[in-house]
A and B are shown apart, each in its own frame.
Chain A
Amino acid sequence: MTVESTAAARKPRRASKRTSAAKKPQSSEPQLVQLLTPEGERVEHPDYSIDLSADELRGLYRDMVLTRRFDAEATALQRQGELGLWASLLGQEAAQIGSGRALRDDDYVFPTYREHGVAWCRGVDPTNLLGMFRGVNHGGWDPTTNNFHLYTIVIGSQTLHATGYAMGVAKDGADSAVIAYFGDGASSQGDVAESFTFSAVYNAPVVFFCQNNQWAISEPTERQTRVPLYQRAQGYGFPGVRVDGNDVLACLAVTRSALERARRGEGPTLVEAFTYRMGAHTTSDDPTKYRADDERAAWEAKDPILRLRTYLENSGHADEAFFAELETESETLGKRVREVVRAMPDPEPLSLFEHAYADGNSLVDEERAQFAAYQASFADSAEEGK
């Protein structure tokens, strides 16, 4: 390691402005597509216009509030020991709701394990997301019901599944599109690079939606890349765009545009939603060990929900009754989630052997029979009063 790079590693993240573009790590002032400022002011962008009714705007707000409420409930349930783990989306509601609401029903989504807001947009019952975190299954929902694939834990794997699926969509002559979610950490994975290559050379109708939430557990984006992530796309031969990930309108407009491009047969797009994970990576880590308090405070000022609320209030698109009603709905959702999780039964022991294979398997059959006999031996003992 050179002296220079050692020094760079010790520099405060994103704090220093540098003159040399080549040495500049993550751009400190990204060129963001923005349609709603952190102060809640509507602004225009030459390439991405959007015209939403008051009803639609309130819908986006409702989605974000309920998603955050669900997320908060899940975090609380983890703290209470009801869930083994939780991956909070706090702070990323706009990126997920904006992109999620850009999708058509026949589009197909490949999420990571944090896309609770996108799942919400797809109509997946949020309580279905909790089974894997409670430890009763590894996903469990039928991905084909809502065209929302199972959460994928191995980082970046799903970008290849999305690409293959999109290749199939193109073969079928369908005009639907596919979206793959991943994070800034995943951008370092070979699978993501390979998915860029495959999607580009086959012109697959896929949108790569990278939520750059600045942190891959404790590693900052500077540990993943020396150039802004959206610029990666250029090297693969398709467009990349960076959007304000805390601006639900911009996320909606940019994703919609990328999806339409895919539908027109013009191939993939990389969208980098520049956002921030306000909580921990999961409930297992402690962000206070690796990031400064003032960083989070700076991002709180860009909160995706607050800025839309300000806009709704100032524009007269929503009144107090709307916010009050939503508050009630939030509490109802939280209560339902709590009740469903607590009532979630452990799977039957013999279900261990189900679904290992679609066609059946003699080895599994043999082990199932042995296990069943073993289980039954306890019943016999009980009957005999031993």
Chain B
Amino acid sequence: MAVEKMSIAKALNESLRLALDTDPKVLIMGEDVGKLGGVFRITDGLQKDFGEERVIDTPLAESGIVGTAIGLALRGYRPIVEIQFDGFVFPAYDQIVTQLAKMHARALGKIKLPVVVRIPYGGGIGAVEHHSESPEALFAHVAGLKVVSPANASDAYWMMQQAVQSDDPVIFFEPKRRYWDKGEVDTESIPGPLHKAVTVREGSDLTLVAYGPMVKVCLEAAAAAQEEGKSVEVLDLRSMSPIDFDAIQTSVEKTGRLVVVHEAPVFYGSGAEIAARITERSFYHLEAPVLRVGGYHVPYPPARLEEEYLPGLDRVLDAVDRSLAY
């Protein structure tokens, strides 16, 4: 057993280090990932130890970062690229959607695109515009991409390993406001598959589904509900594409109630997809409509308003109450 307590940021750093160490074809690319170690220091010290040929500072051009990573992947490399912030991924969106996602299919499977796109995402850090968005649904909607987000240090460590080893492109959303949350990482015990949801709290009255930064809020909500005598189960989805619908279905058919929680706007969000699928699969088990808690259909607000926008404990508990009232 090699269990160590570390932050999510540290777990990602250790995982990237392991990836560079294990496979000489793994590269890290992005703006400021070298000497600075990234604006969140996720790549701290990696260029010092692996050199400028493995940990590559790039020009300030997101489409160029992803586009050249595609070329490097075609040459046999496994690039892990860092997009500095969620709102900056859009200049690269074209390369991700029209090229990265589709090239394997276009070649009838003859070539593989093992590229990981790391995106620190979500709000709650008091940042300026374009630094707090949750665009995961925009990527999950695109066939050919895998979209994942860890919620704890262990998953940060292991899901990064699994993403790097994937022969498909992976959009790896890192919950930036949780970077400094600590948790235990067992660096020897390999966990389950990348796309498997995990029950992080057992319950019998209602199921909360969340991923990334909202898992912590949902666990807090479940603990608060317990004090009121309500037994709430919490599922950490971990993967937004594909989604482990079987795990959600199993939980919902036990509890009869489902509330999906995410930071992204509710409209056309991943909660909509989960609600629709679970309604199809488990209609006769549901005691209440599937409810969603998330952001509003407005641009991400200025920092002084983000606490109103982001789903917090009270909004989640309110949805729990509404569901239980049916």
Q: Which A residues fall within an 8 A CB radius of B?
A: 137-144, 149-150, 152, 154, 157, 159-169, 171-172, 190-191, 194-195, 197-198, 201, 354-359, 361-364
Contact = CB atoms under 8 A, between A and B. Distances in A.
Interface string B70-114: 111111110000000000000100110011001111111111110
A168 B107 contact: no
Contact of B242 (A198, A201, A361): A361
B106 A150 contact: yes
A154 B98 contact: yes
A201 B59 CA distance: 8
B184 interface: no
B74 A154 contact: no
B212 interface: no
Given A164-B72, A198-B59, A363 B109 contact: no
Contacts of B102: 138
A143 B75 contact: no
Given A191-B63, A194-B59, A161 B70 contact: yes
Given A152-B99, A160-B71, A356-B105, 9 more contacts: A142-B110, A149-B74, A157-B95, A161-B68, A165-B72, A169-B75, A197-B61, A358-B166, A359-B167
Contacts of A355: 104-105, 107-109
Contacts of A169: 75
A197 B68 CA distance: 11
Interface in B135-184: 143-144, 146, 166-168
Interface in B9-37: none
A157 to B, nearest CB: 5
Interface residues of B, number: 47
Contact of A197 (B53, B59, B95, B111): B59
Contacts of B143: 356, 364
Contact of A160 (B70, B144, B195): B70
Contacts of B95: 157, 160, 191
Given A165-B75, A362-B242, A160 B68 contact: yes
A137 B59 CA distance: 35
B244 interface: yes
Interface centre among A141, A149, A364 (most CB of B within 10 A): A149
B111 A144 contact: yes
B208 interface: no
B242 A163 contact: no
B231 interface: no
Interface string B52-73: 0100001101011011111111
B95 to A, nearest CB: 7
Contacts of B75: 164-165, 167-169, 172
Contacts, number: 143
Contact of B104 (A159, A167, A358, A362): A358
Given A355-B105, A357-B144, A160 B63 contact: yes
Interface of B: 53, 58-59, 61, 63-64, 66-77, 91, 94-95, 98-99, 102-113, 143-144, 146, 166-168, 195, 241-245
Contacts of A160: 63-64, 66-68, 70-71, 95
A157 B241 CA distance: 25
Contacts of A154: 94, 98-99
A359 B107 CA distance: 15
Contacts of B58: 198
A169 B77 CA distance: 10
Given A154-B94, A163-B71, A358 B112 contact: yes
Nearest to B106: A138
30 contacts: A137-B106, A137-B108, A143-B107, A150-B103, A157-B95, A159-B67, A160-B67, A160-B71, A161-B67, A161-B74, A164-B68, A164-B69, A171-B77, A190-B63, A190-B91, A191-B64, A191-B95, A194-B61, A195-B64, A198-B58, A198-B61, A354-B109, A355-B105, A355-B109, A356-B104, A357-B146, A359-B166, A362-B195, A363-B241, A364-B242
B168 A358 contact: yes
A159 B73 CA distance: 15
A357 B167 CA distance: 8
Contact of B168 (A140, A161, A165, A357): A357
A179 to B, nearest CB: 13
A140 B109 CA distance: 9
A141 B108 CA distance: 8
B167 to A, nearest CB: 4
A137 B244 CA distance: 30
A171 B109 contact: no
Contacts of B71: 160-168
